Amino acid sequence: MQKTFHITTFGCQMNEHDSEIMAGLLTKAGFTRVEEIQQADIEIMNTCSVRENADKRFFGTLGQLKHRKKAEPGFTVCVCGCMMQQQSVIDTLKAKYPWVDLVFGTHNIHRLPQLLSRVIEERTRLIEILPDMEEIVEGLPAMRLYRHKALVNIMYGCNNFCTYCIVPYTRGREKSRTPEAILAEIRALVEDGVKEVMLLGQNVNSYRGLSADGSCTDFAGLIRRLNEVEGLERIRFMTSHPKDLSDDLIDCFVNCEKLCKNIHLPVQAGSDRVLKRMNRHYTRERYLELVRKLRQAVPEITISTDIICGFPGETEEDFQETLSLVREVEYDSAFTFLYSIRHGTPAERYEDQIPEEVKHDRFNRLVDLVNEISERKNLAYRGHIERVLVESVSKTDQSTLAGRTDGFKLVNFPGTDELIGKTVPVEIVEAKTFSLLGRLARE
Ligand code: 5AD
Ligand code: SF4
């Protein structure tokens, strides 16, 4: 009988894409995906170690599976993702959750079908963690979440070692795919109906793709090649480290018509002192200069960011500099994070950790400011006609469609599902903090 599986994904788009690949691999191997965990013979939990309290939430959710595992020994529990690359997590799993069937990491997801077959056939338990990716495995099938847009990894890992961040330890060193492999994947996706690709990497600006003929393609070069792909309508990317954002890439925003006029440019903090302790390798002024250049080149570009509140040693003055930078840039949106310790990172050892209530107070003030600006920026779209790539029918209302503008603004408007996958003009009639409301306009 065919076994069914369910995947629970925590964290970022990179994890989301890993889950799409795992689903693709398992489907190809004869397993069937189901939407509800209750119907699944196999549960896979793809974990994240960046989000706050990630371990608590993961172990909490995992603990809930114990009863079912006891009642149904054939129910198979697998855990994977960033958290598994931390030895402390593996130690806890061995000591407190010995009933978990399969544990694997971020560097061997391509081995999931073999590992799972062994677990099921030999009724054994397995832990397989590799310290880093030996080489990039190409040609893995992915079961996409959306029919018309796709996530595409262009590189793996990170070399930056920001002092708060666990990613360089869980995802290993930077490795770029070849431009040929990326182009081949995207051409196949377009054949399959994909209109928009989101290029993924921890720092896409340091992409260096080596071709068989010995030539090297940088990120701007890759964008230029992808801009030529017939049938592809939109190119996006994330994430971009400010220290490596080149003039050449800014030029792509002007000259590559498929590159969406939107950039996620994490600033993390507005004070030079904090930026230095975070090991970010840019100053506030250099960051603001980049924003000026981007806006000079493309006045309508939308900009989003990540900001951490309460990094060790952050004073009220430092925090005021973050607020003033946010006011100066006027972000379209911002992901705000409360600093929290990641085990094994340099900032864990900083002695001047900030009290929780101070962090929360700053966080609340920052969120208020960010939301006020987002809403103001969104209101300016009222009366505009935007081209929206329709993604789906709204989950809460079958007569409403959801899609994105070129600038990545979420737009809801009345319409029917035959518009999914099409790019249509929508007049913006109302604006909220996190989305726009519109109505279909004439071509
Ligand atoms: N504490 C708080 N936020 C963090 N981030 C990464 N590590 C931490 C941490 N230890 C945030 C950064 C990053 C985003 C993905 O997560 O802002 O850009
Ligand atoms: Fe983490 Fe910094 Fe690398 Fe981003 S660039 S993944 S924040 S170490």
**The pLDDT value given to residue 331:** 98
CA distances, 390 to each of 393, 404, 419 (Å): 9, 7, 6
Atom of ligand 1 nearest to the CA of 347: 10
Is pLDDT of 343 > 80? yes
For residue range 221-247, list pLDDT tens digits in order.
999 999 999 999 999 999 999 999 999
Q: How far apart are CA 28 and CA 18, in angstroms?
A: 15
> What is the Å distance from ligand 1's center to 49 Cα?
10
- Assess whether the C-beta atom of 164 lies below 6 angstroms from ligand 1: yes
> What is the Å distance from ligand 2's center to 268 Cα?
10
Q: How far apart are CA 119 and CA 116, in angstroms?
A: 5
Using pLDDT thresholds of 50, 70 and 90, give the confidence band for residue 2: confident
For residue range 190-209, list pLDDT tens digits in order.
999 999 999 999 999 999 99
> What is the Å distance from ligand 1's center to 165 Cα?
6
> What is the Å distance from ligand 1's center to 365 Cα?
18
Mutate which of 50, 106, 159, 167 for ligand 2 pocket (most atoms within 8 A of beta carbon): 167
CB 319 within 8 A of CB 309: yes
CB 377 within 8 A of CB 330: yes
Coil, strand or helix at 230: coil
> What is the Å distance from ligand 2's center to 159 Cα?
8
For residue range 362-380, list pLDDT tens digits in order.
999 999 999 999 999 999 9
For residue range 164-188, list pLDDT tens digits in order.
999 999 999 999 999 999 999 999 9
Cα 439 from chain centre: 29
Return the ligand number nearest the Cα of 340: 1
Mean pLDDT of 323-344: 96
Mean pLDDT of the chain: 96
For residue range 87-127, list pLDDT tens digits in order.
999 999 999 999 999 999 999 999 999 999 999 999 999 99
Atom of ligand 2 nearest to the CA of 306: 7
Atom of ligand 2 nearest to the CA of 159: 3
Q: Which residue's alpha carbon is at the smallest distance from atom 14 of ligand 1? A: 306
CB 219 within 8 A of CB 205: yes
pTM: 0.95
Using pLDDT thresholds of 50, 70 and 90, give the confidence band for residue 337: very high
> What is the Å distance from ligand 1's center to 162 Cα?
9
- Assess whether the C-beta atom of 411 lies below 6 angstroms from ligand 1: no
Q: How far apart are CA 19 and CA 8, in angstroms?
A: 8
- Assess whether the C-beta atom of 363 lies below 6 angstroms from ligand 1: no
Cα 406 from chain centre: 18
**The pLDDT value given to residue 55:** 79
Is pLDDT of 443 > 80? no
Q: Which residue's alpha carbon is at the smallest distance from atom 12 of ligand 1? A: 306
Return the ligand number nearest the Cα of 174: 2
- Assess whether the C-beta atom of 89 lies below 6 angstroms from ligand 2: no
Q: Which residue has the tokens 């030029």?
A: 251
> What is the Å distance from ligand 1's center to 273 Cα?
18
Using pLDDT thresholds of 50, 70 and 90, give the confidence band for residue 134: confident
Q: How far apart are CA 102 and CA 81, in angstroms?
A: 12
**The pLDDT value given to residue 1:** 65
The share of the chain scoring above pLDDT 70, in percent, equals 100
Using pLDDT thresholds of 50, 70 and 90, give the confidence band for residue 347: very high
Atom of ligand 1 nearest to the CA of 266: 18
Q: Which helix (H) or strand (E) holds 23?
A: helix 13-28
**The pLDDT value given to residue 396:** 83
